[in-house]
Amino acid sequence: MIYRAWLDYNVAVVPGQTLTIEQFLAYSRRFGHIAPHPSKSTRHPEIPEITLLGINKFGADGTLNTAIYRRGAEGWHTDGAYDAEPFKATQLYALAIPSTGGDTFFSNMYAAYDALPERLKLRLDGVRGAFTYGGRRKSQALLNEEDRDWVPVFHPIIRTHNETGRRALYFDPGKILFIEGAEAGESDALIEELTSTMIQPEAEYRHKWRVGDIVIWDNRCSVHKAAGDYPPHEDRIHWRVSIKDNAAVARAAAE
Ligand SMILES: O=C(O)CCC(=O)C(=O)O
Ligand SMILES: [Fe+2]
């Protein structure tokens, strides 16, 4: 039931939960395989599948670590586009929520595809983009030094969702390097045009968190960003899991 609604709506919210980590992991596995996130420094110290959001926000000298405070707030993105098999879903469970701010925004990429001018639909059909962690800006502050060397991976910019069969725009301004087969000027122009047109205001959802909320989103057909605007001295803490497609993980293991 939840799974079907989630496929239809991209984002599913289950409010009012009181879960242990084991329960959260067990529930998350209904959606697929939980893969540890490449940011090792923000993983739970004992359970690598769990990423902790909003923990260790202040350094030893008391300064705010903006990479942690503003994680996910640097722009619209889809999680894991730097991976050959990107995360199908991301799921967050809210443990502490500030008195004001700290919302998460979502936007539908089926709607973004539908709204593309015919010229772009034709130009991008069958065309792939090159993606890395940090993209052209090389924003890699959450990665350990030894984990910052990324080989670009390629994904179709117009993606047919493997479960719904619908076409979506698959694009991430902060992770894309270039559009395959386009000369540099055109590639930059396409990236700029997609960046400025990908968000359809009527296809947005803004989640206002409450403690106990579980929110899962589909990275294959939506983008999201954190507001990054809450009072830094207040807590905003989530458990987070990155979820891959079971069949894809089994295929990769067999290779
Ligand atoms: O903290 C949030 O609101 C979302 C952060 C984010 O982009 C993510 O967890 O993938
Ligand atoms: Fe994200």
Mean pLDDT is lowest, of 31-35, 91-95, 123-127, 144-148, for 144-148
Find, among 100, 108, 109, the residue nearest to 208 by Cα: 100
Q: What are the tens digits of pLDDT across the range 79-95?
A: 999 999 999 999 999 99
pLDDT for 137: 85
Whether 252 is in a domain gets the answer: no
**Domain contains 219:** yes
What residue owns the CA closest to ligand 1's atom 2?
226
Query: β-strand 237-244 against 89-96: which pairing, if any?
Result: antiparallel
What is the distance between the alpha carbons of residues 156 and 177, in angstroms, rounded to a whole number? 13
For residue 196, pLDDT over 90 is answered with yes
Q: With bands split at pLDDT 50, 70 and 90, how would you rate the model's confidence at 1?
A: confident
Give the model's pLDDT for residue 77: 98
208 part of a folded domain: yes
Yes or no: say if 236 and 69 are a contact pair by the CB < 8 Å rule.
no
Q: Name the token pair of 195.
A: 């960046």
Instruction: Tell me what pLDDT residue 255 has.
Output: 83
Instruction: Establish if 223 belongs to a structural domain.
Output: yes
- Residue 254 is assigned to a structural domain of this protein: no
Residue 50 class from Cβ within 10 Å (0-12 exposed, 13-18 middle, 19+ buried)? buried
CA–centroid distance, residue 191 to ligand 2 (Å):
19
Query: Quick one: pLDDT band at residue 97, thresholds 50, 70, 90?
Result: very high
- Domain assignment present for residue 188? The answer is yes
User: Which uninterrupted H or E stretch holds 186?
Assistant: helix 184-197
Residue type, position 3, single letter:
Y
Comparing C-alpha atoms, which of 201, 253, 240, 248 is closest to residue 79? 240
Q: Could you tell me which of 213, 207, 245 has the C-alpha nearest to residue 225?
A: 207
Residue 139 pLDDT > 90: no
What pLDDT is attached to residue 64? Answer: 98
Domain span at residue 78 reads 2-245
Residue 186 has, within 13 A of its CA and on its CB side, a CA count of 9
- Residue 168 structure tokens: 């979506």
To test ligand 1's pocket by mutation, which of 71, 79, 172 has the most ligand atoms within 8 angstroms of CB?
71
Pocket test for ligand 1, best of 215, 238, 243 (most atoms within 8 A of CB): 238
Q: Which residues surround ligand 2, an ion (CB under 5 A)?
A: 72, 79
Q: Which band of pLDDT confidence, cut at 50, 70 and 90, is reported for residue 110?
A: very high
So what's the pLDDT on residue 129?
Answer: 98
Query: 251 in a domain, yes or no?
Result: no
In a domain, 109, yes or no: yes
**Domain of residue 49, CATH code:** 3.60.130.10
Q: How many domains, in total, are found in the chain?
A: 1
Tokens at 185, concatenated = 């000027």
* Å from CA of 223 to ligand 1 middle: 10
